[in-house]
Structure 1
């Protein structure tokens, strides 16, 4: 799976290099145009608090809303660049995601962790259309599949629920380490865009975000000695709110015992609909003397 992801990222991130097509196609300024868009997405995450702690395991019941706005500029018949702002929530719950009868999931079921994280993202991506538009925006193709890749910055705030109240987890250092709530992600994916009329497109898009952070859910490595945690809240979340503390699970949260799976960084994914409005380019009239 890692090799597939690596090859996919390499391919998608190389697409902007095809920008040399601009000179070959002599795509005139008159045919370039801008558009603005609004997006409504379903948002999920891949991490330690999912049915399987790996990509692409997710629980559809944990799906939450993501909304965004974007600005796109078309440079060539196939290539555009898009800047976008988005905001959404990821969430997970061991009691609903982990199967207590699965030997590989018992430690997660007894960990009984749940979280939410509200993520704000700024991204810039290159878009490569599989069907070119060599004409003006008015005569663009009716249906265009595309792929995209780029870079994004995000910030969030993982929280856990205790007695009905949401508590910020990052300051608690539940695993005895500090981590950043913000970071860099690699967005990539694909979609299809449909021409509704001269000015509007509607699209369906799936986008993956590869982060370099294993703490979007505040879970990564092992349990630490409870005496080293600084507060009752840190001990509550860092020690595991156990569903069972008898039998073979009596020492499930002993210092050094597995709490997360540290060899996989967290991901998040959006799937949704985008409505784009094309800003008609100004056509300068020739001047006569």
Structure 2
């Protein structure tokens, strides 16, 4: 009998705790005016600026003296789907570079620089809910998109686009897929504006961000003297030309580029507010 009473008391206690917890959630799901805001449809614009870092065939580790960092900028938007999840889209621009004279494969003497656009669509998951109005909100995100490859190399004082020259006797895709994953933190500074930082890695479905992937081709198969010179640059440093079939790069792992950005997010409004604005517009005569 006592055990039955004890179990009923435990159930009642658990029920009260659950109700109290739900009540707490309801309170945190209110904005500063005390009204719940449906998070679905809330729109924000985003902007970011920072640095980009290349990882590929022309590097063999992190060289702190020659990182090859370049600028990265992004413009985009967030569309709120739930309390914790938003759809996000961005147009981004980045520049990266590398030079093998700072690597273990200095004998190949290859180098490149590229300034590329990319477009990315994905999902962002915030740690704290939209209506909790958390001042600091960490988040994870992932997405997929495309980037336009445009590697260039400098010779005789001039920059030349490498892709049209087919320096490995391969006509590769200039618009490969890019898979993005990262982490960030947003800090609310005003009712609408948040500032923060974000780190993301961008994995290319290509090994030709740097125009280097496999082996040296037969120079007779290349379309021009310029292509032959930019395909094998060892003679420029007094070495014998590389033989066809020798390793020029490694296709085992594809290229990637990393972003670190300082970001701003500005809240535009939500669907309810948009409807209210339409109702208060002046009538047309």
In 2, the alpha carbon distance for the partners of 1:87 and 1:259 equals: 28
| 2:126 matched residue in structure 1 | 129
| Structure number, greater radius of gyration | 2
SS in structure 2 at match of 1:205: strand
Please name the residue that 1:118 is paired with: 115
- Structure 2 stretches of 5 or more lacking a match? 1-28, 31-35, 280-285
The structural deviation recorded for 1:143 is 0.5
**Equivalent residue, structure 1, for 2:97:** 91
Distance 1:211 1:69 in 2: 20
Tell me if the contact between 2:109 and 2:237 (Cα under 8 Å) persists in the aligned partners: no
Q: Which residue of 2 aligns with 1:170?
A: 163
Which of 56, 59, 74 aligns to 1:47? It is 56
1:64 aligns with one of 54, 65, 70: 70
- Match of 1:61, SS state, is coil
Mark the CA change 1:179 to 1:58 in structure 2 (over 3 Å): closer, same or farther: farther
Matching residue of 1:269: 258
- The equivalent residue for 1:22 is none
1:58 CA drift (Å): 6.6
Using a 3 Å threshold, how does the CA distance of structure 1 residues 272 and 58 change in structure 2: closer, same or farther? farther
Task: Give the CA deviation at 1:257.
Answer: 0.8
* Distance in 2 between residues matched to 1:227 and 1:151, nearest whole Å: 39
Residue matched to 2:137: 144
In structure 1, how many angstroms separate the alpha carbons of the residues matched to 2:189 and 2:97?
Answer: 35
Q: CA deviation at 1:116?
A: 1.1
Distance 2:59 2:226 in 1: 23
Change (3 A) 1:91 1:208: same
Q: What is the Cα deviation at residue 91 of structure 1?
A: 0.9
In structure 1, distance between residues paired with 2:198 and 2:77: 16
1:5 is matched with which residue?
none
Q: Is 1:207 aligned to residue 200 of structure 2? A: yes
CA contact (8 A) 2:72 2:259 kept: yes
Structure 1 CA distance for aligned equivalents of residues 108 and 169 of structure 2: 17
How many corresponding residue pairs? 240
TM-score, scaled to structure 1: 0.77
* C-alpha displacement of 1:255: 1.0
Q: CA RMSD in A?
A: 2.2
